[in-house]
Amino acid sequence: MQIIDLMELEAQGYEKRQVNVFFQNDLFKARVIVLESGGRIPDCQMDSHVMFYVVEGEVRLSCNGKTSVLKEKQVFITEPALLSMESESGARLMGVQIRVRD
């Protein structure tokens, strides 16, 4: 059993996002995402199902061109899609990629 405090995990920026992975197996990968004030993750075509849970702050999330605000304690789940996000005031999230079955 492993308990992880998402507020205690250190995170690198988008360019070094692989460092932020705290769990990975054949089915899914989980990482902490930290966006500084004005931070942004550019368009990314995801080939897996994705879940984002906002631990702190809020983000503007774009999914296939449709934009929504994701607030603290809210979760977003999608099938493979074109995604991007940004935060005006900063945010901490957990992102989970779930492998699409063949």
Contact (Cβ atoms closer than 8 angstroms) between residue 96 and residue 50 = yes
- For 17-98, CATH gives 2.60.120.10
Predicted confidence (pLDDT) per residue in 57-97, tens digit: 999 999 999 999 999 999 999 999 999 999 999 999 999 99
Predicted confidence (pLDDT) per residue in 46-64, tens digit: 999 999 999 999 999 999 9
Q: Which residue has the tokens 């605000």?
A: 69
Contact (Cβ atoms closer than 8 angstroms) between residue 82 and residue 44 = yes
| pTM recorded for the entire structure | 0.90
The beta strand positions in the chain, using DSSP E, are 21-24, 28-35, 40-45, 49-63, 66-71, 75-78, 82-86, 91-98
Alpha-carbon separation of residue 67 from 54, 60, 80, 92, 100 (angstroms): 16, 7, 16, 19, 24
The amino acid occupying position 87 is S
The two structure tokens encoding residue 65: 């061109």
Instruction: Give me the residue spans of the domains in the chain.
Output: 17-98
Cβ-in-10-Å burial (0-12, 13-18, 19+) of 52 comes to: buried
